[in-house]
Amino acid sequence: MDTKAMHRISYGLYVVTAFMDGQDSGCITNTVGQVTSKPNRISVTVNKGNFTHEMIQNTGKFNVSVISRAAEFALFRRFGFQSGRDTDKFADYTAFGRSGDSRAYVTEGTNAWLEAKVAMSVDLGTHTMFIADVTDMEVLSSEPSCTYEYYLSNIKPKPQAVGTTPNGQTVWRCVICGYEYVGEELPEDFICPICKHPASDFEKAVNGSTPAPEKPAAGKKVWRCKVCGYEYEGEKLPADYQCPVCGEGPDEFEIVS
């Protein structure tokens, strides 16, 4: 069996939003799809660890904003690189509207939104698939939708060139997004300005040189999250593993080496 056939399946990217107890929240997902046209129903599969999952489960309603190629990385950072349990993802954010049920939908970097009411759900272990009736929808722009491949190639930040370090300073690279900090020491309280991850997620590249990524140790493999691109190295991916960036479970990881 050729498992690479799974790589031929195309994925779009979406912001799934919900509203509960006076609070808006949302998460990035690649699991939205139409399941029937009459009635017009969609499905979305959400990790049970996500706060958005809890909101949908308790209210039975959610919105989907279709991410377009005009989206900037800030959109993914806001809705995908932090948890709604301890962060208000809509704080100081104005690029959204509200549907008839008062739930938010994203208007910047998106080309359409859909309002949905859950008709049934399927327990998938680490995730829940919500099957919902579309109750309202609107096209926002003619910009093409963003695929996961387009996100990796054109939106996700690439490691930044740091030039030379005449004083022999050390380069520290964020293992999440590739941002590089130049300095003899990385402050313990340093926060990556791109993905907001702490100093513990930085690795050292000595004397201004950035070495090629090391090959995994013998018997180990690299597992890549299909949603955000985070890579995990290990002989096996733990059954209860959750991506530290987007919160997805092991079923959203693929072996890349």
Superfamily of domain 9-152: Electron Transport, Fmn-binding Protein; Chain A (2.30.110.10)
pLDDT digits 0-9 by tens, 6-17? 667 778 999 999
Residue 124 has pLDDT above 70, yes or no: yes
Residue 208 has pLDDT above 60, yes or no: no
Position 116 scores a pLDDT of 98
The pLDDT confidence band at residue 162, using thresholds 50, 70 and 90, is very low
Position 185 scores a pLDDT of 81
Do 204 and 162 touch, CB atoms closer than 8 A? no
Of the candidate ranges 77-81, 86-90, 178-182, 213-217, the one whose mean pLDDT is the lowest: 213-217
The pLDDT confidence band at residue 65, using thresholds 50, 70 and 90, is very high
The 8 Å CB, 24+ separation contacts for 182-186 are 182/208
> Do 221-255 and 160-208 fall under one CATH topology?
yes
Domain map of the chain by residue range?
Answer: 9-152, 160-208, 221-255
> In 3D, which of 144, 212, 205 has the Cα closest to residue 180?
205
Q: Is the pTM of this model over 0.85?
A: no
The pLDDT confidence band at residue 145, using thresholds 50, 70 and 90, is very high
Please identify, in words, the CATH class of the domain defined by 221-255. mainly beta
Topology, domain 160-208: Rubrerythrin, domain 2 (2.20.28)
Dist. CA 219–CA 145, nearest whole Å: 39
Question: Edge-to-edge, what's the strand order for the sheet holding 202-205?
Answer: 180-182, 171-174, 202-205
